């Protein structure tokens, strides 16, 4: 008799695991049932801001693989609009509620893949039920926001709360739709995923785009009129709003897992081993935005909810469930984003992370250009490096620039991944031609600067 | 009394060495005299095609630092239009001819930096003296070609001989100036710096641009009329030409060095050690297009005339001359170029190099896109990887694509530099956001493909 794999969560990690398991074990050997609470499988949540802005015209473009494909090509029993409400590890079964038709189903499993994703952070004040307040986590969230923006009369004033990636991207999307936009950030600066000196460049670009940035400001509530949001209340007074977008971050969706007794780690995600197995719980695997994983530089557990990790982790789990061998090697915190034409990349530790992890370090900033200075379209590029003292080992890097800047972070990410020192990095053989780089690539210039800074400390 | 450094060659390697030596030793300690045969110092030869095309409007934009800067800011005695004609290692002196005013100067040295660059390959038939035949090595070459193109009546038909980087870039430049262009290549394909399957993509782009490509064709002579070139003669008959551009490659400029007894290596360049010292010859250093250096993957000596290496090697020599310690770590063959909007990058070994070096390997090609498929402006990108069998160690990589493709080779170059296996590469934490990459970056997709190919061999 076939064994049975139950997958909880039909997005990147869950469906990657299911597909990989299927590649190695056919239906006669392994039945696969995937429960997904929403209306879609495997879509690009990261693409939602571009759908809202209109840059991506159709919602369906964000869907990588639809349920039909999984059913027909992978023989995976995908059940949409089914929310798993309990896991019984002893009886090896789950209970799921049919959200559309009501009622419950109970399904046994031999193997469980927990990939329930993340839930958006929602303070008490955000739970008013007032119209015009939106998170941006699911395609349904996006659809609701688009409908609101297209109603008559259209909203004019948007307030985005939270200046992380989603907040910044959504502020830009709202500007592109013609709204006046205020970004409210609790800390000193938006885009705190990079150090303040680099984040200031991003703030400048957002202001140039027309975004009003209010920093150091805590939101305490929402005002509403006739069931619709009318203002965001802050310590500094109300900010009028016809639409409010919440970009307050997410946390691992672990309620169900915790209730079932799966172990959580120090940063609140499900604990997994290198193979994405939940330690101490036989035949239970997890991956994606619900787990925490190892930061290779700090050595500490981190929660980094990104589609790229979810896909890798799901693939690793699926290969292992399928009888193969794969491990997830951890993350180094690489991320890229875009604010109008300003590109931002980061990898490794920021200064504050390096200090918190106990490293002694130098940091340098090098100004350069993306192309040879004389080549048309040459634009400024700022590269920041953080290097351990006295070893010179690269600990982190950040890039802000106007064109072909963001993905240059990958060059630094691979150097960091391999534990290179900035000394060794000055020797790297990187591509040079006038349309692509000055004769000393910005990465090399920054590495040289870091070597000089280390020398100046006497090491 | 101050010691004296003589630098032969005032371009990238020579002037980088001079500047670095000066940073560490002031005039009272070290006099520096640099002889340069041409009219300029430290210019971007790689930029000449873009000046010819008109993309870079002014010649002076290609000059990184002029002689005045070296004289005033670095206290370096730069002597332009001075050609060194002999080196006497026993008497520690050089003789230089003043090319403009005639006469010779004789200068003693304690330390010598040989940075005479490369000389273009010129078959007998190319030395006719006919008007309208141009190499593209120096700014003077470029100026002469520009004058020819701007004469009345303007030339209409260009023949570019040789399909390497310069040939391909010059063919494009001629098209952009409105000429009809034929590219003649002796081998089966232009752009043989990448494997034939990848080069075919480049040929396609060139044809789409309007370039006529003639391959497998050997040039045997030039026809001229009234002292001007009128056709290129080949085994297949003459090809009419009003202007001929020679892109036949370069070889190390070693005549003077060899006459003085400096040791040459197996690929014809001056031999140097890790510190850019000429072995066995006290206080003589060399760098740039005249030397050969170590290929870190094959372990063999190679001659790679590129400004980026010349700058690094000059800097290393200068630091050592200045009393510091630096080494040149070798090259891995990274290069990038552009044909209209098609971008090409390569690093490491091609299939033929890997075979010649004795490696057993697999090679894979992965088709992907530069951005998330749904993001506007997503364009195809082709990544080829060559991986050792059975170890999986990356040996080489090539990328061809339409946008933000070329510099992605740096990601692979750093992986190669660090000896990564394709297995390990599948785990790399690279930047993901819809404007910059699909959720599986093209580099990761290619690495996965290579792992599959290795598995299929049973390793």
Q: What percent of chain A has pLDDT over 90?
A: 94
pLDDT of A351: 98
Count of other CB atoms within 10 angstroms of residue A123 = 13
Contacts of A409 in chain B (CB under 8 A): 431
CA-to-CA dists, residue A282 to A262, A276, A315, angstroms? 11, 12, 19
Interval A435-441 mean pLDDT: 95
Using a CB-CB distance cutoff of 8 angstroms, which residues of chain A are in contact with residue B328? 427
List CB contacts (< 8 A) between B24 and chain A: none
Across the interface, which of B307, B338, B433 has its CB nearest the CB of A46? Answer: B433
Mapping DSSP onto H, E and C, the string for B126-184 reads HCCCCECEEECCCHHHHHHHHHHHHCCCCCCEEEEECCCHHHHHHHHHHHHCCCEEEEE
Contact (CB<8Å) A406/B47: no
Model confidence at B295, pLDDT cuts 50, 70, 90, reads very high
Which residue in B has a C-alpha nearest to residue A56's C-alpha?
B375
Q: Chain B residues with CB inside 8 Å of A434's CB?
A: 44, 46-47, 50
Among the partner residues B306, B433, B440, nearest to A336 by beta-carbon distance: B433
> Distance between the two ends of chain A, CA-based, in angstroms?
65
Name the phi and psi angles at B218, rounded to 5.
Answer: -100, 130
Distance from CA of B311 to the nearest CA of A (A): 8
B403 and B366 share one domain: yes
pLDDT band at B343 (very low <50, low <70, confident <90, very high): very high
Joined tokens for residue A63: 């869907």
Contact B363, B386 (CB under 8 A): yes
Q: What is the mean pLDDT of chain B?
A: 96
Q: Give the dihedral of Cα atoms B71, B74, B76, B82; nearest 10 deg.
A: -60
Residues from chain B contacting residue A376 (CB–CB below 8 Å): 55-56
CB atoms within 10 A of CB A27: 13
Scanning B425-444 for CB atoms below 8 A from A yields: 426-437, 439-441, 443
In a domain, A187, yes or no: yes
A374 to chain B, any CB pair closer than 8 A? The answer is: yes
H helix runs in A360-405, sequence order: none
Residue B78 CA to residue A231 CA, distance in Å, equals 69
B334·A431 Cβ contact <8 A: yes
Please report the residues numbered 65 through 94 in chain B whose beta carbons come closer than 8 angstroms to any beta carbon of chain A: none
Q: A237: which strand partners?
A: A234
Instruction: Looking at the structure, tell me whether residues B24 and B95 fall in a common domain.
Output: yes
- For the stretch B62-91, pLDDT in tens is 988 889 999 999 999 999 999 999 999 999
pLDDT mean over B240-253 = 96
**Edge-to-edge strand list for the sheet holding B228-234:** B219-225, B228-234, B237-240
Which of A:321-350 have CB within 8 Å of B?
327-338, 343, 345, 347
Continuous segment of H or E residues that includes residue A181: strand A180-184
pLDDT at residue A291 greater than cutoff 90 = yes
CA of B403 to nearest chain A CA: how many angstroms apart?
10
List the structure tokens of B301. Answer: 């000596």
Query: Which B residues 164-183 touch A at CB under 8 Å?
Result: 165
Taking only the tens place, the pLDDT of each residue in B180-195 is: 999 999 999 999 999 9
Is there a domain that residue A52 lies in? no
Q: How confident is the model at residue A17 (pLDDT cuts 50, 70, 90)?
A: very high
**Residue B144 structural domain:** 122-248
**B162 CB-near residues (< 8 Å, 6+ apart):** B184, B185, B186, B246, B247, B248, B249
Q: How far is B274 from chain A (nearest CA, A)?
A: 12
Residue A111 buriedness (CB in 10 A; 0-12 / 13-18 / 19+):
buried
Are A46 and B432 in contact (CB < 8 Å)? yes
Overall domain count for chain B: 3
Please compute the mean of the pLDDT values over residues B141-145 and round it to a whole number: 94
- The reply to whether residue A441 touches residue B410, judged by beta carbons under 8 angstroms, is yes
Spatial separation of the C-alpha atoms in residues A125 and A219, rounded to whole Å: 9
Q: Would you state the pLDDT for residue B65?
A: 86
> Do the domain assignments include residue B48?
no
Q: Is the dihedral of CA B327, A389, B332, B406 positive or negative?
A: negative
Look at residue B250 in the predicted model and tell me its pLDDT: 95
A294 touching B (Cβ < 8 Å): no
pLDDT recorded at residue A412: 98
Residues A351 and A442 in one domain: yes
Is the domain of A24 the same as that of A85?
yes
pLDDT tens digits, one per residue of A72-127: 999 999 999 999 999 999 999 999 999 999 999 999 999 999 999 999 999 999 98
> pLDDT per residue over A182-206, tens digit each?
999 999 999 999 999 999 999 999 9
CB A107 within 8 A of CB A33: yes
B212-230 burial: b if 16+ Cβ within 10 Å, else e: ebbeebebeebebeeeebb
In the structure encoding, which two tokens stand for residue A287, read together? 């991956």
Whether residue B55 is contained in a domain is answered as no
pLDDT at A1: 81
The tally of CA atoms less than 13 A away on the side-chain side of residue A378 is: 19
pLDDT bucket at A45, cuts 50 / 70 / 90: confident
CA distance B176 to B53: 6
A/B interface, count of CB pairs below 8 Å: 207
Neighbours of A223 (CB within 10 A): 15
Residue B357, Cβ density class (10 Å: 0-12 exposed, 13-18 middle, ≥19 buried):
middle
For residue A336, which residues of chain B lie inside 8 Å, CB to CB?
431-433, 436-437
Asked if A35 and A63 count as a contact pair (C-beta separation under 8 A), the reply is no
B355 and B424 share a domain?
yes
DSSP label at residue A99: T
pLDDT of residue A354: 97
Unique residue bearing structure tokens 């003669």: B233
| Chain B residue numbers touching A16 (CB-CB < 8 A) | none
- Asked if the Cβ–Cβ distance from A439 to B55 is below 8 Å, we say no
Spatial separation of the C-alpha atoms in residues A428 and A408, rounded to whole Å: 14
Question: How far is the C-alpha of B124 from the C-alpha of B220, rounded, in Å?
Answer: 9
Max CA pair span of chain A? 71
Tell me if A338 and B433 make a contact (CB, 8 A cut-off).
Answer: yes
Pairwise CA distance, residues A263 & B132, whole Å: 78
B57 occurs within a structural domain: no
A406–B332: do the CB atoms touch at under 8 Å?
no
Are the C-beta atoms of residues A15 and A31 closer than 8 Å to each other? Answer: no
CB A416 within 8 A of CB A375: no
Q: Which of B259, B270, B230, B231 is nearest to B118 (CA)?
A: B270
Give the whole-angstrom CA distance, residue A333 versus residue B159: 51
Place B45 in a pLDDT band, splitting at 50, 70 and 90. Answer: confident
Q: What is the pLDDT of residue B459?
A: 83
pLDDT at B128 over 90: no
Give me the residue from A46, A311, A375 closest to B434, CB to CB. A46
Q: What tens digit of pLDDT does each residue of A384-414 get?
A: 999 999 999 999 999 999 989 999 999 999 9
Q: What is the pLDDT of residue B30?
A: 98
Confirm whether B45 is domain-assigned: no
Give mean pLDDT, residues B244-267: 97
**Given this model, what pLDDT does residue A146 score?**
95
Q: How far apart are CA A371 and CA A432, in angstroms?
A: 9
Task: Show which of A216, A248, A280 is a domain's final residue.
Answer: A248
- Kindly tell me the burial class for residue B368, based on how many C-beta atoms sit within 10 Å of its own C-beta (0-12, 13-18, 19 or more): buried
Provide the pLDDT for residue A44. Answer: 87
Based on the domain organization, do B355 and B210 belong to the same domain?
Answer: no
Is A276 found in the same domain as A259? yes
What letter does residue B408 receive in the DSSP assignment? G
pLDDT score of A168: 95
Q: Looking at B269, B299, B321, which one is the last position of a domain?
A: B321
Q: In this complex, which of A47, A55, A409 lies closest to B431 when CB atoms are compared?
A: A409
CB-closest option in A418, A420, A429 to B334: A429
Q: Is the pLDDT of residue A321 over 90?
A: yes
Residue A303 has pLDDT above 90, yes or no: yes
User: What percent of chain A stands above pLDDT 70?
Assistant: 100
Closest by Cα among A309, A272, A311 to A17: A311
Distance CA B67, CA B82 (A): 13
Segment B90-122, tens digit of pLDDT? 999 999 999 999 999 999 999 999 999 999 999
Backbone angles phi, psi at A421, to 5 degrees: -90, 160
Task: Tell the burial category of A221 from Cβ atoms under 10 Å away from its Cβ (0-12, 13-18, 19+).
Answer: middle
Q: Annotated catalytic, B290?
A: no
A285 and A220 co-located in one domain: no
For residue A242, pLDDT beyond 90: yes
**Does position A129 have pLDDT exceeding 90, yes or no?**
no
The answer to whether B270 and B278 have CB atoms below 8 angstroms apart is yes
Task: Tell me the pLDDT of chain A averaged across its residues.
Answer: 96
User: Average pLDDT, stretch A309-320?
Assistant: 97
- Regarding whether A229 and A126 lie in a shared domain, the answer is yes
Average pLDDT over residues B155-173: 96
> Please, is A178 exposed, middle or buried when counting C-beta atoms within 10 Å of its C-beta (0-12, 13-18, 19+)?
exposed
Give the pLDDT band of residue B44 (cuts 50, 70, 90): confident
- Which residue among B192, B221, B248 closes a domain? B248
pLDDT the model gives residue A65: 86
| Alpha-carbon distance B183 to nearest alpha carbon in chain A (angstroms) | 21
Angle at CA of residue A422, ends A416 and A425, nearest 5°? 80
Conformation bin of residue A181: beta by default, left when phi > 0, alpha when psi is -120 to 50: beta
Distance from CA of A418 to the nearest CA of B (A): 7
Residue A319 has a pLDDT of 97
Q: Is residue B52 part of a domain?
A: no
DSSP-based three-state secondary structure for A407: helix
Q: CB of A417 within 8 Å of any CB in chain B?
A: yes
CA A30 to the chain's CA centroid: 32
Domain CATH for B283 = 3.50.50.60
pLDDT digits (tens, 9 = 90+) for B390-401: 999 999 999 999
Range A341-352 average pLDDT: 96
| pLDDT score of B340 | 81
Predicted ipTM? 0.95
| Lookup: tokens for A384 | 């920041």
Clarify whether residues A434 and A448 are in a common domain.
yes
Q: Are A179 and A155 in contact (CB under 8 A)?
A: yes
Distance between B427 CA and the closest CA of chain A, angstroms: 6
Cα A303 from Cα A315, distance rounded (Å)? 18
Same domain, A350 and A433: yes
Residues of B in contact with A347 (CB under 8 A): 429, 431
Q: Count each helix (H run) and each strand (E run) in chain B, helices first.
A: 12, 25
Which pTM was predicted?
A: 0.96
B132/chain A closest Cα distance in angstroms: 26
Contact B357, B299 (CB under 8 A): yes
In a domain, A57, yes or no: no
Strands (E), A320-370: 335-339, 342-348, 361-369
In this prediction, residue B282 carries a pLDDT of 96
Quote the strand ranges of A19-163, DSSP E: 30-36, 77-80, 82-88, 93-98, 104-108, 111-114, 118-120, 133-134, 157-161
Report the pLDDT value the prediction gives residue B341, as an integer from 0 to 100.
85
Same domain (yes/no): B231, B129? yes
Contacts of B330 in chain A (CB under 8 A): 429
């Amino acid at each position: 008799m076939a064994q049975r794999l139950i997958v909880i969560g039909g997005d990147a990690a869950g469906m990657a695991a299911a597909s990989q398991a299927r590649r190695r074990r056919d239906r006669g050997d392994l039945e696969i049932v995937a429960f997904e609470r929403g209306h879609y499988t495997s879509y690009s949540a990261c693409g939602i801001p571009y759908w809202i802005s209109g840059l991506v015209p159709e919602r369906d473009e964000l869907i990588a693989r639809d349920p039909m494909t999984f059913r027909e090509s992978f023989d995976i029993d995908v059940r949409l609009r089914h929310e798993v409400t309990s896991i019984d590890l002893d009886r090896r079964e789950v209970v799921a509620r049919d959200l559309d038709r009501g009622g419950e189903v109970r399904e046994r499993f031999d193997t469980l893949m927990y990939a329930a994703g993340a839930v958006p952070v929602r303070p008490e004040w955000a739970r008013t039920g007032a119209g015009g307040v939106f998170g941006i986590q699911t395609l349904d969230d996006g659809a609701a926001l688009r409908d609101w923006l297209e109603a008559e009369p259209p909203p004019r004033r948007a307030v985005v709360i939270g200046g992380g990636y989603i907040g910044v991207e959504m502020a830009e999307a709202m500007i592109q739709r013609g709204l006046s936009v205020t970004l409210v950030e609790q800390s000193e600066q938006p885009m705190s995923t990079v150090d303040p000196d680099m984040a200031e460049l991003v703030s400048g670009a957002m202001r140039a785009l027309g975004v009003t940035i209010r920093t150091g400001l805590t939101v305490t509530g929402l005002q509403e009129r006739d069931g619709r949001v009318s203002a965001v209340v802050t310590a500094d007074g109300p900010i009028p709003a016809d639409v409010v977008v919440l970009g307050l971050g997410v946390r691992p969706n672990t309620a169900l897992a915790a209730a079932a007794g799966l172990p959580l780690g120090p940063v609140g995600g499900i604990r997994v081993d290198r193979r994405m197995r939940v330690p101490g719980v036989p035949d239970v695997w997890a991956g994606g935005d619900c787990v925490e994983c190892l930061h290779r530089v700090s050595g500490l557990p981190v929660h980094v909810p990104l589609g790229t990790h979810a896909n890798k982790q799901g693939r690793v789990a699926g290969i292992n469930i399928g009888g193969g061998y794969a491990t997830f090697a951890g993350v180094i915190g690489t991320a890229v984003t875009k604010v109008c034409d300003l590109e931002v990349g980061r990898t490794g530790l920021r200064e504050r992370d390096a200090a918190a992890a106990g490293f002694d370090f130098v940091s340098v900033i090098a100004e350069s250009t993306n192309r040879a200075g004389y080549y048309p379209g040459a634009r400024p590029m700022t590269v920041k490096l953080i290097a351990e003292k006295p070893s010179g080992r690269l600990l982190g890097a950040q890039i802000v620039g106007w064109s072909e800047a963001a993905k240059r972070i990958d060059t630094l990410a691979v150097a960091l991944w391999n534990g290179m020192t900035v000394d060794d990095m000055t020797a790297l053989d990187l591509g040079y031609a006038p349309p692509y780089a000055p004769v000393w690539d910005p990465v090399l210039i920054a590495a040289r600067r870091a070597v000089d800074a280390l020398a100046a400390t006497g090491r």
